[in-house]
Chain A
Amino acid sequence: MTAAPTPPWSRRRVLGFGAAGAAALALGACSLDRGSSPDTDAEPEPKGDWSGTLLDPPFPKPDFTFTDVDGKPYPIVEKTKGKLTILFYGYTNCPDVCPITLNTLARAKDGIGSGPGSNPLVLFVGVDVDRDTPEVLKTYLNAIDPEFVGLTPTGKTKAEKEAMIVDSLAVIKQAAPEIGEPDEDGNYIVGHPSAVTVYTADDVAHRLYPSNVRQSQWVKDLPRLDKGTYT
């Protein structure tokens, strides 16, 4: 069989289509939005096979009395004494980090099932003083894991409550929340620390976790922390 002559100009044209398309894509890639890489890798990676960063010296617990979802006082140090405790600050209108972190923790708890690390005390502190009321927190956490403890700052005025949030965050060396500008509907976002502090039975935190820890990683770390191992 001999090859049939194909007009060369048609091949050039077909190739031209491809080249033009490739050039347009390359141009687009260079000149336009380069896309948004996930921020999940932005936080420093911990060393070894732990997902959290080793704290040296360890962080103490914030010695403050918050208010729980039933309106009762909740002194953190007293209520969590000797227990594996996970402390996380966020807000109920948070669109991303808070629900992801809390859901991941809830599913990790399920994943551990029973034994060490299976029943950590998870404290979620609402930093949005205006919207995170005890009732709102209760509804929010019930949808994720009813065993999670929702806390709001205690105080007579908004300023007192905000000061309590800032002071308690300072204990674990985290920055104060920042309230964003409301949109036309009155909604606003709150910038807040996304770190998760885990306290072991000795009532100090030896490991600080970023918000992007996966379920499988929690399942690996929580039982070890519950047994008092952190290095």
Chain B
Amino acid sequence: MSWWCSSSLKTWTWTPRPYLGSILIVLSVVALAGWWLLRGRHQDELVQARAGSQATAATGSSTGRSFAFVLGVVGLWACLDWPLATLGAGYLATAQMIRQILMVMVVAPLLLFSMPAPLAVRIFGWGKRLTVLRWLARPIVAVPAAASILVGVNAPAFVDYLVKTPYGAFAMDGAWVFAGFALWMPVQCPHPGVRRLTGGAGITYLIGQSIVPVLPGFFMTWSDFPIYRTYELAPRVFQGFDAVTDQQTAAAVLQVGGMVLLWVQISYRFLHWAYEQMDEDRAGRTGGKAMAEAGTATP
């Protein structure tokens, strides 16, 4: 058993090859969640009270968060282990882009959404680490950070160099995770001490972010030759699926897949925001009517 995936000139086989590192990481996340559940929730109220009025109200029911956590962990495991990780590290650019999209657009927001605010407070506290977190959750920092990481780790020189060894491939996966958290932090930060972008501001931010996957995808679509040496010279997994077709499919996954996932989020947020506005309007009208009735009753 290898500890992390990396490229290889070995012929592709569908014989499972699990990776110790990915199993340990997934188990660590599950263990952290289990430990938190076993501690009990009695301290949640204390933390919420401490956060006071500056905290952004947490959204999502407990069931929804649990469901998001399970989905996030399953997605994380799928990204880091055989077969997707093996295919992505050494055989198919398409598989690598599926991993990237899953990690950045699915796993990161789901894990951020599922993280209970008190756990975020435990990890980041209320001191210097929170200051750093607040800084990272600013769109002016998050956008360039996520964009530069995603463009950088998709550069052929980086990809071909990093996927050669388990260490390099591990660093690349770590960069994706960081980019994913950076991208979603302004709208999904679980710490109650960080003011999140909600409503129209959050939607505008996500629309702005949708341009990020387009940048690396552009070069992959329009290049005359395969840009990644690793995937060009890798043993073929599917007959007839050559390096150029693979690269163009990877570009489509990155651009279309990333865009679709982002717009699903944007649509969800828009509907949520619209219903909130409607509820507020309704509450306002009801309150006004009640006040008007009270006013007429009072001499």
A interface, CB within 8 angstroms of B:
1, 3-4, 6, 10-11, 13-14, 17, 20-21, 24-25, 28-29, 32-40, 95-96, 99-100, 103-104, 107, 111, 143, 212, 214-216, 219
Of all chain B residues, the one with the shortest Cβ separation from A10 is: B122
Decide if A3 touches B127 in the complex (CB within 8 Å): yes
Given the known inter-chain contacts A38-B230, A111-B224, A214-B232, please indicate yes or no for A28 contacting B21, CB distance below 8 A.
Answer: yes
Of all chain B residues, the one with the shortest Cβ separation from A37 is: B164
Decide if A29 touches B167 in the complex (CB within 8 Å): yes
Decide if B233 touches A100 in the complex (CB within 8 Å): yes
Q: Which residues of A contact B169 (CB under 8 A)?
A: 35
Count contacts between A and B, CB distance < 8 Å.
118
Choice from A20, A103, A215 contacting B225 with Cβ under 8 Å: A215
Q: Which residues of A contact B226 (CB under 8 A)?
A: 214-215
Chain B interface residue count, Cβ-Cβ cutoff 8 angstroms: 48
Is B296 engaged at the interface, CB distance under 8 Å to the other chain?
no
Is B109 engaged at the interface, CB distance under 8 Å to the other chain?
no
Which DSSP category, helix, strand, loop or mixed, fits chain A's interface? Answer: helix
From residue A207, how far is it (CB to closest CB) to chain B in Å?
Answer: 19
Q: Which residues of B contact A6 (CB under 8 A)?
A: 121-122, 125-126
A-B contacts, 19 of them at CB < 8 A, read A3-B127, A4-B125, A14-B122, A17-B31, A17-B32, A24-B20, A32-B2, A33-B3, A35-B2, A35-B165, A40-B9, A40-B229, A96-B10, A100-B235, A107-B243, A111-B224, A111-B225, A143-B239, A216-B224
From residue B93, how far is it (CB to closest CB) to chain A in Å?
Answer: 14
Given the known inter-chain contacts A6-B126, A17-B31, A29-B166, please indicate yes or no for A215 contacting B2, CB distance below 8 A.
Answer: no
From residue B231, how far is it (CB to closest CB) to chain A in Å?
Answer: 11
From residue A93, how far is it (CB to closest CB) to chain B in Å?
Answer: 11
Of all chain B residues, the one with the shortest Cβ separation from A32 is: B3
From residue A98, how far is it (CB to closest CB) to chain B in Å?
Answer: 10
Choice from B3, B164, B243 contacting A28 with Cβ under 8 Å: B3
Q: How far is the CA of A34 from the CA of B28 in the complex (A)?
A: 22
Of all chain B residues, the one with the shortest Cβ separation from A34 is: B166
Of all chain A residues, the one with the shortest Cβ separation from B119 is: A14
The 0/1 profile, CB within 8 Å of A marked 1, for residues 204-245 of chain B is 000000000000000000001110011011111001101110
Choice from A11, A38, A99 contacting B8 with Cβ under 8 Å: A38
Q: Which residues of A contact B1 (CB under 8 A)?
A: 32-33
Q: Which residues of A contact B123 (CB under 8 A)?
A: 14
The 0/1 profile, CB within 8 Å of A marked 1, for residues 158-171 of chain B is 00000011110110
Name B4-22 residues within 8 Å CB distance of A. 4-11, 20-21
Q: Which residues of A contact B167 (CB under 8 A)?
A: 29
Decide if B233 touches A3 in the complex (CB within 8 Å): no
Decide if A100 touches B166 in the complex (CB within 8 Å): no
Decide if B6 touches A35 in the complex (CB within 8 Å): yes
Is B75 engaged at the interface, CB distance under 8 Å to the other chain?
no
